[in-house]
Structure 1
Amino acid sequence: MSKIFGGRYEVLERIGAGGMAIVYKAKDQLLNRVVTIKVLREQFATDDDFIRRFRREAQAVASLSHPNIVSVYDVGKEGDTEYIVMEYVEGRNLKEIIREYAPLSTDQTINLARQITSAIQNAHEHHIIHRDIKPHNILVTADGHAKVTDFGIARAVSSATVTHTGDIIGSVHYLSPEQAKGLQSNEQSDIYSLGIILYELVTGRVPYDGETPISIALKHLQEQPTLPSKLNPRVDKEFERVIMRAIAKSSEQRYASAKELLEDLNHIQAGRPINHPEVFPVDDLEATMTHHGMGKVLAPVSVRDEEPKSDLKPTKKKKKRWPLITAIIVILLLLTGGGIALRNYLLVGTTKVPNVVGQTLPTAGTYLKSAGLALNPEVKKEFDDKVENGLIISQDPAADTVVKVGREIQVVVSKGPDTGTFPDVTTSPMSKADAVNMIQNDGFKGKITFATQSNPTIPKDYVIQQNPAPSATWPKSGPITLTISSGPDNGSSSGTINMPNVINKSSADAKTILQQNNLVPLVETQDSTTIPADFVISTSPNPGEAVQQGSQVTIVVSRGPGPLALNIKKDVSALVAQIISVMPRDDKDYVKH
């Protein structure tokens, strides 16, 4: 029996998982609609801080109403389990799209960027900072509609509620420099994270990567990113300026608001230039960091001095020394934490990845668990003609690869062959070319084999038979056979005859007569009040005209209503006229009007 939350939300299937919650697809039995339920993980059920954060997500997002933000419908508690009911979005997360399609064109990226920026602007206007903008938290529907989700660490900002926190939460690849330093996030932090996503969309890679989270965080603070156009020359220069400004390390150089970023995106889409200087951060610590083997670096954002300003002007030497000392202290603290993380990483044992290709997900999970590994919850699914539905097509890392214990293994699961309803290409004799076009337009891409067969009634190069049959469910890449007419064989009569007279005959009789004379009838229909329905009105060629056997002739068949309807209409008109003639004068005038 499936799990039901709140007496109305029936769980259908698990669709994802994050660090804080497990996500299910469910059906709202009361409103008869599909929803998403986010359930707090069991290990956090007794953690008051996590529960407060979890409830804050519902309260924050419930106050937002925007087409590019996933809506929150309900929040509840089932026993000891906290849950949130949200809008269900049929689509894929942006990270999956990046892995499969990046780099995207400038136009495609701007289209997504405008939607995401609009969502972030709406949240900021309601004093909500997302704090974890990354492609995993952006869903995209099949028609390209983007929706921002997972406000699990969103924080309402107001003078009454803001408190300092040193927590750095979220994916380190999209972390802003202020978050990497442990400083408080603000609206510009979301803009920076979005800028990293835009960089990844047009280049296919993030600007900062490394072996450990600490090394990546340091790069956010220190290194200058490669210009997107150097990785993808097709990137529009104006759009590149927008991206570089969005990911500027200095808050003074970065966009001040999502509204300002959206205005520039609208300018580019409309073909208008943007008016702000290009961002090329100055590297004040290059010599120091190079000396320590860290490569080319950038100066970190300076810390604001809150002490009263002195009238005495500091010396030039002192001005340069304090930012340098501050930066070195920050880096040493990070390196200390990085050293501990590196030591813990190196102390973890290794294991060999088992082969899970061809297995079901539960079986693969068992194999991986026995090897000290885990299955990545973000399972990718693809159509496959050779691998049965529900079985694993591929894995990453590959089988027999030696990896650290605890690593997650990414798998791709088969959805079986992609199928469709096969069209009928044998009605009203269809030419070979038209049949192929119809088949391909319906999405069938399998190899088409042509067989030929003589036929006295179907013209040459027209379809006689098909395999698969009309309306059959068939794999989109499955083989297709079409039998094509080669015309009448050598023994068939193929001379010139006079067109038989089939006018006023039923369509069935007319077809039989024409086919007996080795002619191919094509049927057209027409309204008629003189010829009964399903009887022939006219032919082309006309009766008695010369026609080549084996060729097509046209018969025009009546759709009705026929002469009976005409007579009834005349009788009714006469009856009405008769009634009016015997009516008093006033009533006649009333009827006429």
Structure 2
Amino acid sequence: MHVAVPRPVEVPSRRFGRYLLRTRLGSGGMAEVFLADAVDLRGQPFSVALKLMRKDVPAEVFADEADLMGLLEHPNLVQLLEVGEAFGRPFIAMELLVGGDLGGLMRALCEQRRPFPPDMAVHVCLEVLRGLAYFHRARTRSGRPLGLVHGDVNPANVFFSGGGEVKLGDFGVARARSVDIGPADGVAAGKLHYLSPEQTRGEPLTPASDVFAVGIVLHELLLGRHPFRREETDPDVVMTAIRGARLSLPDTLDRTLAAILRRALAPDVVSRYHTAGELAGALLTWSLDTGNSPTREDVRHWLADVLGLIG
């Protein structure tokens, strides 16, 4: 769902329903995402991020994500535009976010040998937490709580608009307690290095699981490294490190932020921030106390500087 970083993969333009596929923006286990163009009812051209289900993925899995996106509307969540099917493949058309994803931004800063500014790191995580707070409290159209957990918060699923907005996307492995959505209990779905300890054990998840993932992202942004990454690629080794959740924080890190990280990344759910709102409150207090509160315009200019965006 981005066009700036990493560089899109050029594909031969081809028609897919009313959309013309231009470039492939990303690819995962469930779907491919393309930059696609179309024309609205007034004859005005527009572009979308078009997510196409892979042929070997059960249709109900893709339908769950589409149904869920149709229930959600929040400025910090990627918005659904249309759901449909063409040539036997279901698709989801989503708003196109030209500022790229957080993973691409981190790589761009690394290539430029520039650190991620602490105020921007806190701001990005605050915006993600605002989206998660809404997500966790979302209800069905009849008003019944869904009991949602995202389950896959990681830099590849955090996006930027050209105007400096921060949005969480990709709800493909989200779980709901009150309706049959998402992977079954006991299945550790999500990106390996961003699983919570309870997720690695296949336990029922609560919003605290997503809080842990945000803590990992915040650690990466502030310190430039993953807190539990190991050289070994064996998933069991990685999950053991996550379950232990042993932190080694430098003395140079702001003491308040260090305390926030320790609580967000507590391996025991009881000791962790229980909700996105609790962690957001701690980060907002730090921002206000230190005077580090970037505006959306600040974010827009910073993105333009790092990524070379125009406008």
Structure 1 pair 160–180 and aligned structure 2 pair: CA distance change class (3 A): closer
Residue of structure 2 in register with 1:82 after alignment? 90
The answer (yes or no) to whether the contact 1:166–1:183 under 8 Å persists in 2 is yes
Residue of structure 1 in register with 2:238 after alignment? 216
1:236 corresponds to 2:221: no
Deviations along 1:124-179, whole A, 9 cap, x unmatched?
11032211000011112455421111111112332787985211122211110001
> Alignment partner for residue 121 of structure 1, among 133, 139, 142?
133
1:176 corresponds to 2:196: yes
Determine the C-alpha separation between the residues in 1 that align with 2:22 and 2:245.
Answer: 46
Measured after TM superposition, the shift of residue 4 of structure 1 is: 2.8
Is there any run of 5+ residues in structure 1 with no aligned partner, and where?
45-49, 273-417, 421-593
Residue of structure 1 in register with 2:50 after alignment? 37
Structure 1 pair 183–143 and aligned structure 2 pair: CA distance change class (3 A): same
Residue of structure 1 in register with 2:16 after alignment? 5
Measured after TM superposition, the shift of residue 101 of structure 1 is: 2.3
**Structure 1 residues 542-561: aligned runs within 5 Å:** none
**Structure 1 residues 464-543: aligned runs within 5 Å:** none
Deviations along 1:1-57, whole A, 9 cap, x unmatched?
843333x2221221111111011111122253111110011232xxxxx32121111
Is there any run of 5+ residues in structure 2 with no aligned partner, and where?
1-11, 139-146, 291-307
Residue of structure 2 in register with 1:409 after alignment? none
Amino acid at match of 1:115: E
Residue of structure 2 in register with 1:145 after alignment? 165
Determine the C-alpha separation between the residues in 1 that align with 2:180 and 2:60.
Answer: 17
Residue of structure 2 in register with 1:320 after alignment? none
Measured after TM superposition, the shift of residue 217 of structure 1 is: 0.5
Determine the C-alpha separation between the residues in 2 that align with 1:179 and 1:64.
Answer: 24
Please give the secondary structure, in 2, of the residue aligned with 1:192.
helix
Amino acid at match of 1:131: G
The answer (yes or no) to whether the contact 1:11–1:27 under 8 Å persists in 2 is yes
Report the TM-score, using the length of structure 2 for normalisation. Answer: 0.79
How many corresponding residue pairs?
264
Measured after TM superposition, the shift of residue 118 of structure 1 is: 0.3
Structure 1 pair 28–155 and aligned structure 2 pair: CA distance change class (3 A): farther
1:249 corresponds to 2:267: yes
Structure 1 pair 155–35 and aligned structure 2 pair: CA distance change class (3 A): same
Amino acid at match of 1:136: A
Determine the C-alpha separation between the residues in 2 that align with 1:28 and 1:124.
Answer: 33
Please give the secondary structure, in 2, of the residue aligned with 1:167.
coil
Report the TM-score, using the length of structure 1 for normalisation. Answer: 0.42
Amino acid at match of 2:64: R
Structure 1 pair 197–87 and aligned structure 2 pair: CA distance change class (3 A): same
Deviations along 1:447-485, whole A, 9 cap, x unmatched?
xxxxxxxxxxxxxxxxxxxxxxxxxxxxxxxxxxxxxxx
The answer (yes or no) to whether the contact 1:60–1:155 under 8 Å persists in 2 is no
Moved more, 138-147 or 11-20: 138-147
The structure where helix makes up a greater share of residues is 2
Measured after TM superposition, the shift of residue 221 of structure 1 is: 1.0
The answer (yes or no) to whether the contact 2:173–2:183 under 8 Å persists in 1 is no
Amino acid at match of 1:199: H
RMSD over aligned CA atoms reads: 2.2
Measured after TM superposition, the shift of residue 199 of structure 1 is: 0.3
Residue of structure 2 in register with 1:532 after alignment? none
1:95 corresponds to 2:103: yes
Determine the C-alpha separation between the residues in 2 that align with 1:104 and 1:12.
Answer: 31
Structure 1 pair 191–84 and aligned structure 2 pair: CA distance change class (3 A): same
Measured after TM superposition, the shift of residue 92 of structure 1 is: 1.8
Residue of structure 2 in register with 1:28 after alignment? 38
Determine the C-alpha separation between the residues in 2 that align with 1:182 and 1:168.
Answer: 5
**Structure 1 residues 373-388: aligned runs within 5 Å:** none
Deviations along 1:67-121, whole A, 9 cap, x unmatched?
1111011111213211111111102211122233264232111111111110111
Determine the C-alpha separation between the residues in 1 that align with 2:65 and 2:19.
Answer: 19
Measured after TM superposition, the shift of residue 215 of structure 1 is: 0.6
Determine the C-alpha separation between the residues in 2 that align with 1:164 and 1:15.
Answer: 29
Residue of structure 1 in register with 2:211 after alignment? 191
Please give the secondary structure, in 1, of the residue aligned with 2:209.
helix
Return the structure number with greater relative CO, CA threshold 8 A, min gap 6: 2
Deviations along 1:300-330, whole A, 9 cap, x unmatched?
xxxxxxxxxxxxxxxxxxxxxxxxxxxxxxx
Please give the secondary structure, in 1, of the residue aligned with 2:226.
coil
Determine the C-alpha separation between the residues in 1 that align with 2:149 and 2:63.
Answer: 16
The answer (yes or no) to whether the contact 1:99–1:204 under 8 Å persists in 2 is no
Larger radius of gyration: 1
Structure 1 pair 78–163 and aligned structure 2 pair: CA distance change class (3 A): closer
Amino acid at match of 1:52: E
> Alignment partner for residue 16 of structure 1, among 26, 30, 54?
26
Measured after TM superposition, the shift of residue 62 of structure 1 is: 1.8
Residue of structure 1 in register with 2:301 after alignment? none
Determine the C-alpha separation between the residues in 2 that align with 1:61 and 1:21.
Answer: 16
Determine the C-alpha separation between the residues in 2 that align with 1:27 and 1:191.
Answer: 36
1:204 corresponds to 2:224: yes
Determine the C-alpha separation between the residues in 2 that align with 1:12 and 1:101.
Answer: 27
Amino acid at match of 1:65: E
- Same amino acid, percent of matched pairs: 31
Structure 1 pair 205–161 and aligned structure 2 pair: CA distance change class (3 A): closer
Determine the C-alpha separation between the residues in 2 that align with 1:256 and 1:179.
Answer: 15
Determine the C-alpha separation between the residues in 1 that align with 2:37 and 2:63.
Answer: 22
Determine the C-alpha separation between the residues in 2 that align with 1:161 and 1:55.
Answer: 9
The answer (yes or no) to whether the contact 1:60–1:128 under 8 Å persists in 2 is no
**Structure 1 residues 105-120: aligned runs within 5 Å:** 105-120=117-132
Determine the C-alpha separation between the residues in 2 that align with 1:185 and 1:192.
Answer: 11
